[in-house]
């Protein structure tokens, strides 16, 4: 049994880690931290997590935690994660970091977008970007995983085959994303209160969302040259799910069938990423509560444009589920272990 | 491996049976019927059910089905279920009927409320009302289970200890229930379209809902005398969940602690029914997607009234989950097999 | 033109007052107060209120306000309202208080439920409970209106004819209410965040809600003897609306037609309260954004129980709309002025 | 008093016409048609429309209707509208057609997208596209208005200044729209039932939506050359509202301030279309129930892209409200008559 610890277990991503890991036959959750809720039971915060032997919250005492777990999931806010991740990695632990702290390989870009310096460039170098569809082999050997952001997960899976095979022009990309409210975390701001979100729909952080450099880093890497994107997130009045609609000018081919073959070849063997048959498009409701990513493809021949639509559950494939998937790969467990439940529908 | 068949697999209850049973290690789904969708794949109707080896829909050909399965879940409309249930039971199969056809022990009461005669009184006599909290032992030996209605499940679990121990006067009961929209099934009526249900709230079938005689039958049985109730269902703009608020005039004791002890004694060992500690009350969101029933208790000492609040997921504990629980009991499987996942929250 | 001031204009009730009054041809809004938002424009908080000449928020400086308006709507939290109301009334202003401070005629009951003493018993004596269906004549002559709570409005309109005509036994009343989330005000608590309320349903403040004594005061007054009730509020995942389902044991008659006649006689001439024809029941969606109260009636002859269902918009008939209605009556304006728009449906 | 008739009054657009027109001081609704609901009262279908003197539904008997009204609003399905519109126009009536039948100036394009021929090319020539922001003067003199589609309204208002002033390249346009469920009308299809739409989000009619040629026609006209667009609609789980996010490659200037000035100049005097100050973006919740269109602007200097976000209420500015606005212009009424209420928030 692998002993796993969860640092930052009082938010939605932490709760999802608890939900998923408590059903994982190969692991035992040995510690869950929360500064604010230290001493409380997990069910005080999340009555739906009824796991008999769930440990109570404790403060993040790094030295003490070292003895308790072999692998740590870090669900702390960005910046707060840096130090603890470095500490655990330095002491030989495996770490899967759900924060943004180790996702951007260039420390300057990190500082530019997150407004804090990166203090651990050496550890940053060890981090592997934890998108299994792109980096499965590196993940298997990694000690530190930078678990992708929720928006980048849907955007990158949607764009990766097109960019790598140069199907679309890299200077024309529009990524229009729509996320459920849980993407903002467990919120006490008026703007996330029920009456403000319900029956509303809006764009936010236009041109300035922090997931932009993460998307651009991975697309640039796939394209072999600098790629810049237009990325606009929107807030949808629902709990879970990100639908991403992607537009790119087709560079060579201009027919759907050819595009479809490229995507099928890229993802045909993936356990969680599915290319829907031509004419079908995803709905976030069909992946709710799951680690699946569904992809729908269309070609507008009149404008020579590729349209890719992807759907994920932001808390699962966009956070906790992908983290567990990464752990499964790192540890040699079956990749779908604890992640094979169907969506809850309706 | 138990071979199970699902008759009527194109509605929400059928889809939940498919979702739950496909993760059950002791069973294999060998047939799913639907007249209208015969020939289609399950994923044509329910893209979220990705089970590789899921059979396609076929018509309900009773003779053919006999050879395919050992136990049948019947998720047909009432009246339509009568004949098929009788046929399978007569041919030695185990049957769990999710329709109302075998719930009312008195055929006349059935005819009065459902406006169709009951054609199989002999088979009706064999039926056991499948509420494990009340009839676990009979269920274990039964060949035909009448799986309880969604509203009766929440109402009966909430009232049973109080009635059996005569804590409340049997002539004063108010059962005010609120259900999510999936309780009405997969609907094509305008009144269940999104824009009519969303941002609305209403009572319906006041004084006339067909679950009334079912509730009264079981309460009368527990009380040892005829009990009549005021039962009012309401439609809540959400997918899943029934919250039932029950009021009864206290007959003897008038303090919460004593009531709590009675309920704890009744349900302390139940795997799915939980009495929340004093001062806590259930929320349907905390049981979503699960087979749990949560109970909150209050006493209004000023009016000498017991208030019981219960929460279930109408499609799971109120339908498919309870059906699988009944199967587990009938077959000697672990009671919680395939039913132990936590709720999806948020 | 009547000059009106709004004290406490940064919450939902204040915003509704601004919305409704800005379309009122007989009044001019001359001041809106908010301590926290003083100096800000109303549209900074509520972009939907585009009234060209809307004043900016200012602090509640009582002396300064005296010169600015002839009538004040007070939408302050309870306790905070006491002093300002007394001050304005003492200085000859007309006041409509949307807080609970002047609703309970007995200062001791107020202190018992609100945990603060009432400092102005003399002013309290002048207050008229502003439910036009009950107290229209007193309202017309009042200088201080205690605008009813949202739950009491739906409960009292539903019960008043039955109690006054002794149709039901006063010791058997169950009032089961369900409110949209705006009833809690503009909220920054996690428990009112979108992801916690959405897809949830729960009861709260069971046996202890502060609207209980207000309901009991008015029912006792109508009954001519002390009445105690079971009142349970619930939180519905929608923005606006309260549906109240009321149960009372019938004392004499036991048929719906007779009950219907009593209600028709009571409310037939009311501009905002409508008794739906027999067999029809209200939906909060049909009164959204309006000052209407719709009533549906049923009799359960088997249990000799009257069931009354009422629907209101908690922010309009349950707060700001009823306040404007009271003003219209006090000032001799047409009763429906600025309150005659139809509901927004869907 | 202008006598107006509504042909097709049993859908949501018809109901909105009834809601808005019943508060219009210059008109009297003299007839409302519905084949299916002929003989029924309007309140039988829409209990929220309590207008005392609202006529009952009658069948669309063209000759009879001629004598009843001076101006007709046509809210019939496309194709069904063609004949009746031609008849009324030929007989000297003013007509505002909410269907798509007279929007496309080229009958062949109409036939291509709507799969029915256009039988009245002469009448088609008379039609004026009823977007007041573009065609106010023509509308004032028109006898036949083709009221714009809901999506084109939000898209065209958002793009018009940029296209006319050649701020963006006409070959690079992405129009990503998100609509509430009422856009599909009063629906009895399972795919629009509550449980299928709620907690879901999806794109639909990708590359093939019928509003595409309407958008292209007006953009081409503004650009002075053929413009083709990528238009993708999405279904949002809410009742009302369309948010449109538009992307265009900047051709000359690359700064927000300059773009803002162009938009301010274009719309500064419009009564319903508002350019939000720099840094602010619209939310459909702020325009719910109103005829307003709000515009937010951003420039991505890194990619030289203009991003325009517009919000409307699809049933008001996207249908019935814009129709009444057109009538106000045609008849010389005050433009905002019956359209000046604020949004219902929350």
Its ipTM equals 0.97
Tally: H helices and E strands in chain C: 12, 14
Residues of chain B with CATH 3.30.360.10: 151-314
Q: CA B304, CA B253: separation in Å to the nearest integer?
A: 9
- How many beta carbons lie within 10 A of that of residue D309, not counting itself? 25
| CB contacts, 8 Å: A21 with chain B | none
How high is the pLDDT of residue B116? 96
| CB contacts, 8 Å: A346 with chain D | 195-196, 198-199
Q: Are B241 and B285 in contact (CB under 8 A)?
A: yes
Min Cα–Cα distance to chain A from D276, Å: 14
Q: Are B262 and B165 in contact (CB under 8 A)?
A: yes
DSSP state of A168: B
- Give A281-304 pLDDT, tens digit per residue: 999 999 999 999 999 999 999 999
Is B194 in Cβ contact with D181 (below 8 Å)?
yes
Mean pLDDT of D134-149: 98
CATH topology of domain B151-314: Dihydrodipicolinate Reductase; domain 2 (3.30.360)
Is residue D150 part of the annotated active site? The answer reads yes
Residue A331 CA to its chain's centroid (Å): 19
- Give A93-130 pLDDT, tens digit per residue: 999 999 999 999 999 999 999 999 999 999 999 999 99
Residues of chain B with pLDDT under 70: 51-52
What tokens were used for A231?
A: 């990325």
Q: Are D7 and D73 in contact (CB under 8 A)?
A: yes
How high is the pLDDT of residue D54? 81
H-helix or E-strand spanning residue A172: none
Mean pLDDT of D290-317: 98
Question: Above 80 in pLDDT, residue D296?
Answer: yes
The label of the residue with tokens 């809600």 reads C209
pLDDT classification of A318: cutoffs 50, 70, 90? very high
3-state secondary structure of B325: helix
Dihedral pair phi/psi, residue C303, rounded to 5°: -110, 5
Antiparallel, parallel or unpaired: β B273-275 and B242-249: unpaired
Q: CA C325, CA D103: separation in Å to the nearest integer?
A: 45
Min Cα–Cα distance to chain A from D209, Å: 12
How high is the pLDDT of residue A55? 86
How high is the pLDDT of residue B170? 92
Min Cα–Cα distance to chain A from C190, Å: 5
3-state secondary structure of D14: helix
Contacts of B117 (CB under 8 A, 6+ apart): B107, B111
Mean pLDDT of D185-191: 94
Min Cα–Cα distance to chain B from A49, Å: 6
The label of the residue with tokens 């870009």 reads A109
Among all residues of chain B, which has the CA nearest to that of A49? B342
Q: Are B215 and B229 in contact (CB under 8 A)?
A: yes
* Beta-carbon pairs below 8 A across chains A and D: 151
From first to last of its 346 residues, chain C has per-residue pLDDT tens of: 999 999 999 999 999 999 999 999 999 999 999 999 999 999 999 999 986 678 899 999 999 999 999 999 999 999 999 999 999 999 999 999 999 999 999 999 999 999 999 999 999 999 999 999 999 999 999 999 999 999 999 999 999 999 999 999 999 899 999 999 999 999 899 999 999 999 999 999 999 999 999 999 999 999 999 999 999 999 999 999 999 999 999 998 989 999 999 999 999 999 999 999 999 999 999 999 999 999 999 999 999 999 999 999 999 999 999 999 999 999 999 999 999 999 999 9
Q: CA B38, CA B32: separation in Å to the nearest integer?
A: 9
Is A286 in Cβ contact with B341 (below 8 Å)?
no
Question: Above 80 in pLDDT, residue D125?
Answer: yes
What tokens were used for C127?
A: 């207050």
Is B345 in Cβ contact with A15 (below 8 Å)?
yes
Nearest CB among B189, B190, B239 relative to D198 is that of B239
Nearest CB among A12, A190, A239 relative to C198 is that of A239
Mean pLDDT of D257-277: 97
Mutation site for A-interface testing, chosen from D112, D176, D190 by largest number of A Cβ within 10 Å: D176
Cα torsion angle, C188, C190, C195, C201, sign: negative
- How many beta carbons lie within 10 A of that of residue A109, not counting itself? 16
Q: CA C251, CA C19: separation in Å to the nearest integer?
A: 44
**Cβ-based interface (< 8 Å): residues of B facing D:** 12, 181-182, 186-190, 192-199, 237-239
Q: Is D78 left (phi over 0), alpha (psi -120 to 50) or beta?
A: beta
**Annotated catalytic residue: which of B7, B150, B195, B293?**
B150
Mutation site for B-interface testing, chosen from D195, D201, D237, D314 by largest number of B Cβ within 10 Å: D195
How high is the pLDDT of residue B52? 63
**Annotated catalytic residue: which of A7, A150, A195, A293?**
A150
Strand partners, C107: none
Tell me the residue ranges of DSSP E strands in chain C: 2-7, 27-33, 57-58, 71-74, 94-97, 128-129, 144-146, 174-180, 202-203, 230-236, 242-249, 273-275, 293-300, 305-312
How high is the pLDDT of residue C54? 81
Q: CA B324, CA C39: separation in Å to the nearest integer?
A: 62
How is C174-243 classified by DSSP, letter by letter?
A: EEEEEEEGGGG-S--SGGGBHHHHTT--EE-STTT-TTHHHHHHHHHHHHTS----EEEEEEESSSS-EE
First to last CA, chain A: 35
pLDDT classification of A52: cutoffs 50, 70, 90? low
**Dihedral angle computed from the Cα positions of residues C343, D335, A199 and D152, in that order, rounded to the nearest 10 degrees:** 130
How high is the pLDDT of residue B50? 81
Is D282 in Cβ contact with A207 (below 8 Å)?
no
pLDDT classification of A50: cutoffs 50, 70, 90? confident
| CB contacts, 8 Å: D180 with chain A | 201
Q: CA D113, CA A302: separation in Å to the nearest integer?
A: 14
The label of the residue with tokens 């629907």 reads C311
Is C285 in Cβ contact with B196 (below 8 Å)?
yes
Nearest CB among D195, D202, D230 relative to A303 is that of D230
Nearest CB among D48, D283, D345 relative to C343 is that of D48
Is B288 in Cβ contact with A342 (below 8 Å)?
no
Contacts of A32 (CB under 8 A, 6+ apart): A5, A6, A9, A14, A18, A42, A54, A55, A56, A57, A58
Q: CA C84, CA C119: separation in Å to the nearest integer?
A: 12
Is A342 in Cβ contact with B19 (below 8 Å)?
yes
| CB contacts, 8 Å: A195 with chain C | 12, 181-182, 186-187, 239
Residues of chain C with CATH 3.40.50.720: 2-126
| CB contacts, 8 Å: A280 with chain B | 47
Q: CA A181, CA A198: separation in Å to the nearest integer?
A: 10
CATH of D2-126, one of 3.30.420.40, 3.40.50.720, 3.50.50.60, 1.10.10.10: 3.40.50.720
Is D342 in Cβ contact with C19 (below 8 Å)?
yes
Q: What's chain A's average pLDDT?
A: 97
**Does pTM surpass 0.90?**
yes
Q: Are A148 and A214 in contact (CB under 8 A)?
A: yes
Min Cα–Cα distance to chain D from A60, Å: 35
**Helix pair angle (C107-114, C212-223), 10° resolution:** 150
**Helix pair angle (A212-223, A107-114), 10° resolution:** 150
H-helix or E-strand spanning residue D263: helix D256-267
| CB contacts, 8 Å: B232 with chain C | 245, 307
């Amino acid at each position: 049994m692998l002993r796993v610890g969860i640092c930052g277990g009082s938010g939605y991503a932490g709760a999802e880690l608890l939900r998923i890991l408590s059903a994982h036959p190969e692991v035992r959750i040995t510690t869950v931290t929360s500064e604010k809720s230290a001493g409380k039971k997990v069910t005080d915060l999340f009555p739906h997590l009824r796991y008999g032997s769930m440990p109570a919250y404790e403060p993040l005492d790094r030295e003490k935690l070292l003895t308790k777990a072999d692998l740590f999931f870090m669900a702390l806010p960005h910046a707060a994660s840096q130090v603890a991740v470095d500490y655990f990695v330095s002491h030989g632990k495996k770490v899967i970091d759900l924060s943004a702290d180790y996702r951007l390989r260039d420390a300057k870009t990190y500082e530019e977008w997150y407004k804090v310096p990166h203090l651990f460039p050496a550890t940053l170098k060890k981090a592997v970007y934890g998108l299994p569809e792109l980096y499965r082999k590196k993940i298997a050997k990694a000690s530190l995983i930078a678990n992708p952001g929720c928006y980048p997960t849907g955007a990158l899976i949607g764009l990766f085959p097109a960019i790598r095979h140069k199907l679309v022009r890299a200077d024309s990309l529009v990524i229009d994303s729509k996320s459920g409210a849980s993407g903002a975390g467990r919120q006490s701001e008026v703007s996330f209160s029920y009456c403000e979100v319900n029956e509303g729909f809006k764009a936010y952080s236009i041109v300035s969302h922090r997931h932009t450099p993460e998307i651009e880093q991975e697309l640039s890497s796939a394209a072999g040259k600098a790629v810049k994107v237009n990325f606009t997130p929107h807030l949808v009045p629902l709990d879970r799910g990100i639908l991403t609609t992607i537009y790119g000018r087709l560079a060579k081919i201009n027919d759907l069938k050819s595009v479809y073959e490229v995507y099928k070849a890229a993802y045909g063997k993936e356990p969680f990423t599915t290319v829907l048959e031509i004419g079908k498009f995803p709905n976030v409701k069909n992946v709710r509560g799951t680690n699946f990513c569904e992809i729908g493809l269309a070609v507008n021949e009149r404008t020579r444009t590729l349209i890719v639509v992807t759907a994920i559950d932001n808390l699962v494939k966009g956070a906790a589920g992908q983290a567990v998937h990464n752990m499964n790969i790192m540890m040699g467990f079956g990749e779908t272990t604890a992640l094979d439940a169907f969506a809850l529908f309706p």
